[in-house]
A and B are shown apart, each in its own frame.
Chain A
Amino acid sequence: MKRYLFLGLIYALALVLPLFIGEFWIHVAVEILILGLFAVSFNMIFGYMGQLSFGHAAYYGVGAYVTGMLMVKASVPLAICLPLSMIGAGICALIIGYFCVRLTGIYFAILTMAFGQLIYYIIFKWYSFTRGDDGLQGIIAPPLLFSVNAYYYFTLFIATAALIVMWYISESPFGYTMRAIRDNADRTRFIGINVRKYMLINFVIAGMFAGLAGALWGPFNRSIAPDLCNWHHSGTPVFMTVIGGPFGFFGPMIGSVIYTFLMAFITGFTEYWPLTIGLVIIFVVLFVPGGVLGVFENKMKGFRSKAPKSEETIP
């Protein structure tokens, strides 16, 4: 119950946020939401399925390009573009995932990254269709969402809806089957589950929500470039999840708040942002391996029961 109260408070705060902060920080808040959605979708594969996807930006990028191109070239309304972006990213995830779920561990990470780079190069090189390195400009949100505040509320609404859906999935029998596969894929076969099929379904769902996040990015930034698919952009949700904590649903969102806020703040007065985030990651990995959320959860569990340290139980 306390948890819902806490979430309600955060949400109320998010609703009144534009009253208190300037336009620059509203921009940052939109970025936090979009990248947070991206990171939560990534964590469906990382935290719940136990595999590291290092090519998750590909689905984000495909989602951004589907919406961007439909809006610029065909003037399709944004409301129609969003589901189409999810479908587009989902189809890519289905094709790529078909091969990736055959592998686990480092091989899964490498293969997802290789496919991600493939998508990047296709978008980069196919100039006549995607305008390659020039990117797409002039992706203009509909008049109703033109002001930054309006776009903030729109993003908040879409991100909330997406988070609720992903939350339900994570708590469903399917979500628990993912945890089972993460904990012990072999045993899961012996309780009658086709592990690869389930991994593929999860991979596609995660890709679809990454695509949705990407779709929100274009009209916000008004332009997109192939770099959205590039491998260093795949690192963003990894960093966010490591900072926020992969073992709770909201961990990646917390990570996005910290990461995006820090980036906006630090790049304001120094160009050494990569150095800064590098130090933050080193600190988190060495001293708070469960991420921010992990620290909170351990504190709370300390009062209730002798909860195990999660690391101890990993075989």
Chain B
Amino acid sequence: MSEEVILKVEKLNKAFGGLKATNNVSYKMMTGEISAIIGPNGAGKSTFFNLLTGYHFPDSGNIFFKGVNITYWPPHKITRLGIARAFQVSNLYPRLTTYENVRQAILSQQKKTLNLFTPAHRLAKKETQELLEITGLSHQTNMTAGNLPQGDKKRLELAIALGNKPDLVFLDEPTAGMSGEETHETMELVKRLNEEIGLTILFTEHDMSVVFGYARRLTVLHQGTVIAEGTPEEVRANEEAQRVYIGEEA
């Protein structure tokens, strides 16, 4: 792990009506890190991702990515700079095939989407096949995404995010709805990506065994506020974190 800051969030605030979904959150990630954000439902995890990727604009605060202030940038510009996300509820192109779903992300990353006259099926063949293999989807190549089983939908969700060749990827409950074995496979893939290509990863997860098994650093959110942060051991030992969250599970 290098000591280079890839993401720095300063005093981020966001309220929906009277509800403070993100309350004065500061956060920092180093290049090559694999970390998790945990917290009960409604703690503000998804909102935090939405703020970092430009889906919502914060009320105040700053977001720096690779040293660039990306606060108030639209999602497509943030993605171009190297942040990708996989959604909690799979968010695919239901009428395109698995292959076309992945290819779309790759074509976008290769800046070929303004190409009007080359048939798309001739482009990004190798990259698409490779990514389908890595994510364990090559048996579903021609299946319409809307008809994939739940586990494959989540895998495709991840594949689309990776198609953008991001430097930093947010995974919002990447294993939700997967079987135990699928969860293990997916998280091993995530771990491999982190170790082999140095992808920086931030994920949320409800399954505590996943969180403690794969994250090297944890942040606990509660009612939009960071209440604990540190290595899994430190967080496990933190009384407040235990009270609001971890204790629930035990």
Contacts and interface: CB of A to CB of B under 8 A. Distances in A.
A313 interface: yes
Interface residues of A, number: 34
B233 to A, nearest CB: 34
Given A173-B112, A174-B116, A176-B96, 7 more contacts: A171-B119, A172-B119, A190-B55, A191-B109, A193-B76, A195-B76, A315-B94
Given A189-B76, A193-B76, A177 B116 contact: no
A191 B100 CA distance: 13
- Mostly, the A contact residues are helix
Interface string B72-105: 0011110110001101000111111000100111
Contacts of B74: 189, 194
Nearest to B90: A187
B53 interface: yes
Interface in A131-181: 168-169, 171-177, 179-180
B108 interface: yes
Given A172-B117, A173-B123, A195-B76, A180 B147 contact: no
B116 A192 contact: no
A75 interface: no
A184 B160 contact: no
Contacts of A192: 76, 79-80, 108-109, 164
Interface of A: 168-169, 171-177, 179-180, 182-184, 186-195, 198, 201, 305, 307-308, 310, 312-315
Contact of A172 (B76, B104, B108, B116): B116
B117 A169 contact: yes
A190 B120 contact: no
A176 B93 CA distance: 11
Contacts of B76: 189-190, 192-195
Contacts of A195: 76
A176 B116 contact: no
A189 B83 CA distance: 12
B118 A310 contact: no
A169 B87 CA distance: 30
B95 A187 contact: no
B114 interface: yes
A315 B91 CA distance: 10
B75 A190 contact: yes
A307 B142 CA distance: 10
A176 B107 contact: yes
A313 B115 contact: no
A313 B120 contact: no
B53 A169 contact: no
Contacts of A193: 76, 108, 113
B95 A183 contact: yes
A194 B153 CA distance: 24
A190 B117 contact: no
A168 B117 contact: yes
8 contacts: A169-B116, A176-B100, A183-B93, A187-B87, A188-B104, A189-B74, A314-B94, A314-B146
Contacts of B123: 173
Contacts of B109: 191-192
B144 A172 contact: no
Contacts of B95: 179, 182-183, 310, 313-314
Given A190-B75, A190-B85, A179 B113 contact: no
Interface string B45-86: 000000001010000000000000000001111011000110
Nearest to A247: B95
Contacts of B100: 176, 179
A191 B121 contact: no
Given A169-B116, A183-B95, A190-B53, A176 B104 contact: yes
